[in-house]
Amino acid sequence: MGYPQRFIFSEKEPINCYVSSINKLDDFLHRTYNISKENKKSFVMMYFSDHGMTVDNSDRPVRHGNTEKQNYHVPFFVLADDLTEHTQIDTPISAFQFINIFGYYAGITSQQINPINVLDTKPKNIQVFNGTEMVDYQGLSNSTPLY
């Protein structure tokens, strides 16, 4: 038996499976964090998704999307053994900056990587890759909520 499907949001099975897959990922990350804490060693855990999904009532209700801002709104978070505050940042950050952000938290410096603290990131003119070409993030439309 596979991972239990815990959520029923729609009469469309792919939507329920997609939401349940998010729950499965949450469980995995929670377990990984707890194992890291139990080892009592210094750690930083970073997570981000490489793309968002389009979820709608079409014939293919869950698919990789690239035409709306929400397709690029993906989880990105940092957990560490020594972090004591929850800070939420509602600022678009380009995935093209990930290696710089990772470099900051990992303590990596080089001529090719300029470390960036995510708390200090204020990107302008974000470009995203739509599968064919780079496009202006701000020029994308907003999706309509499904529920």
Q: How far apart are CA 124 and CA 94, in angstroms?
A: 10
Q: How many domains does the chain have?
A: 1
Residue 63 lies in a domain: yes
Residue 20 lies in a domain: yes
How confident is the model at residue 133, as a pLDDT? 95
How confident is the model at residue 39, as a pLDDT? 93
Residue 5 lies in a domain: no
Would you state the structure tokens that stand for residue 103, as one six-digit string? 């470099």
Q: How far apart are CA 114 and CA 96, in angstroms?
A: 12
Type and span of the H or E element at 118: none
Rg (CA), the chain: 18
Residue 95 lies in a domain: yes
Residue 31 lies in a domain: yes
pLDDT per residue, tens digit, the chain (147 aa), is 466 666 676 677 777 787 788 888 889 999 999 999 999 999 989 998 877 788 888 888 788 888 988 888 888 888 999 988 998 888 888 888 889 999 998 888 899 988 988 888 777 888 999 889 999 999 999 987 766
Residue 68 lies in a domain: yes
Instruction: State the Cα angle at 79 between 110 and 90, rounded to 5°.
Output: 85
Residue 115 lies in a domain: yes
Q: How far apart are CA 6 and CA 24, in angstroms?
A: 10
* Residue 135: strand pairing partners: 128
Residue 2 lies in a domain: no
Q: Pick the closest to residue 46 from 122, 119, 118, 102 (CA basis).
A: 102
Structural domain boundaries, residue 101: 13-139
How confident is the model at residue 1, as a pLDDT? 46
| pTM, two decimal places | 0.72
